[in-house]
Structure 1
Amino acid sequence: MLADLSKGTILYFTPVLMLTALLLSLFAYLAPTVMLHSQVALLTVTPSSALTQPGSSNAVDGPSIFLGPLGSCSRTNNEAGLICAPSSISPVYNTSIFTSDTPSSVISSPPEGAPAFMAISLALSVIFFIMYTAISFRHLMGKAGAVWEKPSVQRFSAWIGIFAFLLGLASSLIIFMWFGKAADDFNQSIQGQGSNGPQLIANTGNAFTMIWVAYAFFAIPVVVSLAKFHVLATK
């Protein structure tokens, strides 16, 4: 029974985890300019009196901006529609909606190349998902499954998974530190202006939560791929 459970987990559950990781990473990468315009972002700047009037619970109306790896979406007030910039791997965020006393200069695009490396990681993740799934279900492919039996093919698949995982995780960590510092600098500048400062607050967005969950799921198929070669190497 334990052997059947282990086999079922490896063959059927891990491809589902990999697909989930791929979709979460893709959603986080495309938001907010392509999809989920106001629901998912790496960094958000929204109206709030939390910094200028600590303890206040009054609703505030004002400009908002939602930043992602490929660009930003913004609106001038809570009732206005979102305007999204064209997607680009070298995005320029539209901060013209803010007043002159807003420290918008700290809101800048991440280091050049980071979104491109994330895109490369996504492409490699797609290849790894296809190869990993084919290897898992090779016993159902008849003669075509013989190709996926070859150790060289399985080794290549494992290397693709490792590169995709490390490249994507490293790029995400760099962007997380970049936007985390931007949020801290923005909020400190607002607080420094006292009660006369703009009623805004910056926060790292839920896209990072999606990314961390995605790479937690991604790690499992990668470990399974490496475990196969570890077992073979110790025979």
Structure 2
Amino acid sequence: MIAGLSKAINQYLAPLLALTSLLLVIFAYLAPSVMLQTQVALLTVTPSISLTQPQGNGQSIDGPSIFLGALGSCERPNNGAAVTCVPPTVSPKYDLSVLPSNAPNLLTAPTATTPAFIAVSLAFSIMFFLLFTFTALRSKLGKAGAFFDKPAVQRSTAWIGLMGFMIGLTSFLVIRMWFGKAVEDFNAAILEGGQGSPQLVAATSNGFVSALNFILIQPCGIQRWSV
């Protein structure tokens, strides 16, 4: 029974987990310009009084929103308006025209090579997934399975997977640091402006989970918060 369970994990569960991971990365890469316009983004700017009126106790307000990703951006002038997106490209130029004129102009796209490297990483990851799946199921492929039983093929598969992982990890780290600094500067500028600033707040995200980063200015100094 244990041997059968171990075989099932190697043959079916591992490829399934690899496919799930690959799909999530593709969703995060293509959003919001291509798909999931308001559900998935790497950086968002939404209407909020959490910075200008912290005592508002999370009161929701209406206002412009923008959603930034690796390939482009989407925006809407208010909560009830339709979302419009710029065409996706590996060298995106974000459309921030829906933001008020007094909003900090600190949100810029990362270097053009970063989205391109993510695309290369995805290509390697897709190749790895296919080769890994065929290798795991080689016993069911008949004579064709003998090709994937060769040590050279298995070593090549491992190297392709490693290259895809390292390139993707490095590229997403660059984007995360770029957007993280932009969010800190944006929210700090809103805080410094006080109640006269636009009622907006920026937040970073890994694509599916958002994190609010801002700097709280107090008489005793500056404190950085992450929620």
TM-score by length of 1: 0.86
Q: Choose between structure 1 and 2: higher strand proportion.
A: 2
Which amino acid in structure 2 is aligned with residue 11 of structure 1? Q
**Contact 2:40/2:208, CA 8 A, preserved across alignment:** no
Q: Which runs of 5+ in 1 are unaligned?
A: 211-235
Q: What CA deviation, in whole Å up to 9, does each residue of 1:85-139 have, x standing for no partner?
A: 00000000001111221002x1000122110010111111111000000000010
Q: Which residue of 1 is the match for residue 151 of structure 2? A: 151
Q: What CA deviation, in whole Å up to 9, does each residue of 1:181-217 have, x standing for no partner?
A: 111110000000001100000001250659xxxxxxx
Count the aligned residue pairs: 209
Q: Quick one: distance in 2 between partners of 1:142 and 1:40? A: 42
For the residue of structure 2 that corresponds to 1:19, the secondary structure is: helix
1:219-234 to 2 correspondences below 5 Å: none
TM-score by length of 2: 0.89
Q: Which residue of 1 is the match for residue 69 of structure 2? A: 68
Q: Once superposed, what is the RMSD of the aligned Cα atoms? A: 1.3
Structure 1 runs of 4+ aligned residues shifted over 6 Å read none
Q: Quick one: distance in 1 between partners of 2:42 and 2:199? A: 20
CA 1:118 to 1:209, structure 2 compared with 1: closer, same or farther past 3 Å? Answer: farther
Q: Quick one: distance in 2 between partners of 1:209 and 1:151? A: 40
CA 1:116 to 1:205, structure 2 compared with 1: closer, same or farther past 3 Å? Answer: same
Which amino acid in structure 2 is aligned with residue 76 of structure 1? P
Q: Which residue of 1 is the match for residue 135 of structure 2? A: 135
User: Sequence identity, in percent?
Assistant: 53
Q: Which residue of 2 is the match for residue 174 of structure 1? A: 174
Which amino acid in structure 2 is aligned with residue 196 of structure 1? G
More contact order relative to length (CA 8 Å, sep ≥ 6): 1
Q: Which residue of 1 is the match for residue 199 of structure 2? A: 199
1:106-117 to 2 correspondences below 5 Å: 106-117=106-117
1:1-235 to 2 correspondences below 5 Å: 1-56=1-56, 57-104=58-105, 106-207=106-207, 209=209
Which amino acid in structure 1 is aligned with residue 101 of structure 2? S
